[in-house]
């Protein structure tokens, strides 16, 4: 593969699908005009609202979102990740689903978030994702692309579970997506260091789209969508406002780091 530009988009999504998709399209357009060919949208990019409302509107959100992703990928001739949106299941709940779409509008890879955010943190807000979301039961599969390398998918809270990324790196991953809606409280201490850790220990590029700002009620996210290289160097950081983090993914750099630090070859415990 040749070097290419990747983009991690940063949004402030609301309980309004139309406004969110309009915002997403503006950011996709911006990323494309800056040369990006591989673009990631954050978790909950299409809808960020109360859990019960999300369940009641799940089919509508799912249908609109998937159509949007296919349309945008075709219109702009890019490969596009929808970083996490609700897809209804028979139980009346949803899967938090990441979907990778190619320039022809076809599905390339799908991942259903495995680790659910059931956490009571001291920010005045209790998170209980499992009340509405059914966890995925399959490890993510790599998408092997001649243009972009071997791509692995994950979503937000997954970043705290290194075994998932070790599985991906063992199967050959070179680029790892972590679309997220990290809380403002945890993000200030953990977001950057976790992204860098996953990059370093797996000698992979990390593309981490993010939510930022206040979405509804007291729900606030950290921002700082970023792209990190296999040495852990932050190549781009979107800061705290909606926008785009864009950087080069360079296969030469990947090979160099893996020669200098061949830790993947030194694994003792599989």
From 37, 43, 66, 112, active-site residue? 43
Report residue 218's pLDDT band, with 50, 70 and 90 as the boundaries: confident
pLDDT over 90 at 270, yes or no: no
- E runs forming strands in the chain: 4-11, 38-40, 79-88, 94-101, 107-112, 118-121, 125-128, 143-145, 149-152, 175-177, 205-208, 210-216, 219-222, 226-228, 234-237, 243-249
For the segment 36-65, the average pLDDT, to the nearest whole number, is: 95
Phi, psi of 189 (to 5 degrees): -105, -30
Spatial separation of the C-alpha atoms in residues 1 and 251, rounded to whole Å: 7
For the segment 152-163, the average pLDDT, to the nearest whole number, is: 98
Spatial separation of the C-alpha atoms in residues 153 and 179, rounded to whole Å: 9
110-149 pLDDT, tens digit per residue, is 999 999 999 988 777 788 999 999 999 999 999 999 999 9
159-192 pLDDT, tens digit per residue, is 999 999 999 999 999 999 999 999 999 999 999 9
Per the annotation, the verdict on 126 as an active-site residue is no
Give the predicted TM-score (pTM) of the model.
0.97
Number of Cβ atoms within 10 Å of the Cβ of 254? 20
Report residue 4's pLDDT band, with 50, 70 and 90 as the boundaries: very high
Three-class SS of 181-211: CCEHHHHHHHHHHHHHHHHHHHCCEEEECEE
pLDDT of residue 126: 82
For the segment 198-206, the average pLDDT, to the nearest whole number, is: 98
Average pLDDT over all residues of the chain: 96
Q: Tokens in use for 184?
A: 């403002």
pLDDT of residue 217: 81
Per the annotation, the verdict on 25 as an active-site residue is no
Report residue 1's pLDDT band, with 50, 70 and 90 as the boundaries: confident
From 22, 27, 58, select the one nearest 225 (Cα to Cα).
Answer: 27
pLDDT of residue 25: 98
Number of Cβ atoms within 10 Å of the Cβ of 27? 23
pLDDT over 90 at 269, yes or no: no
The proportion of the chain whose per-residue pLDDT surpasses 90, expressed as a percent, equals 92
Domain boundaries, the chain: 4-266
For the segment 248-252, the average pLDDT, to the nearest whole number, is: 98
From 37, 156, 174, 204, active-site residue? 156
Question: Which CATH number is associated with domain 4-266?
Answer: 3.60.110.10
pLDDT of residue 30: 98
Spatial separation of the C-alpha atoms in residues 52 and 56, rounded to whole Å: 6
pLDDT over 90 at 56, yes or no: yes
pLDDT over 80 at 247, yes or no: yes
From 113, 150, 174, 204, active-site residue? 113
From 234, 236, 232, select the one nearest 257 (Cα to Cα).
Answer: 232
What's the sign of the alpha-carbon dihedral 222, 120, 21, 18? negative
Per the annotation, the verdict on 43 as an active-site residue is yes
pLDDT of residue 28: 98
| Pairing mode, strands 79-88 and 234-237 | unpaired
The proportion of the chain whose per-residue pLDDT surpasses 70, expressed as a percent, equals 100
């Amino acid at each position: 593969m040749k070097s290419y530009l990747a983009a991690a988009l940063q949004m402030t999504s609301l309980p309004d699908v139309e406004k969110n998709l309009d915002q997403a399209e503006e950011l996709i357009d911006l990323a494309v005009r800056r040369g990006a060919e591989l673009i990631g949208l954050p978790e909950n990019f299409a809808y960020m609202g109360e859990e019960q409302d999300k369940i009641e509107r799940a089919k509508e959100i799912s249908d609109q979102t998937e159509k949007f992703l296919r349309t945008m990928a075709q219109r702009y001739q890019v490969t596009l990740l929808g970083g996490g949106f609700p897809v209804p299941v028979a139980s009346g709940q949803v899967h938090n689903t990441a979907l990778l779409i190619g320039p022809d509008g076809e599905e390339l890879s799908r991942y259903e978030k495995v680790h659910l955010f059931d956490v009571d943190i001291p920010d005045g807000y209790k998170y209980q994702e499992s009340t509405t979301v059914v966890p995925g039961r399959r490890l993510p599969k790599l998408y092997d692309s001649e243009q972009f390398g071997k791509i692995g998918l994950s979503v937000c809270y997954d970043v705290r579970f290194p075994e998932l990324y070790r599985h991906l790196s063992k199967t050959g991953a070179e680029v790892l997506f972590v679309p997220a809606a990290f809380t403002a409280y945890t993000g200030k201490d953990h977001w950057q260091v976790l992204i860098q850790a996953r990059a370093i220990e797996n000698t992979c590029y990390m593309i981490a789209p993010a939510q930022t700002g206040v979405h509804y009620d007291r729900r606030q996210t950290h921002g700082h969508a970023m792209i990190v290289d296999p040495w852990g160097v932050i190549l781009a950081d979107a800061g705290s406002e909606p926008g785009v983090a864009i950087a080069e993914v360079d296969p030469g750099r990947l090979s160099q780091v893996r020669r200098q630090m061949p830790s993947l070859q030194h694994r003792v415990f599989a």
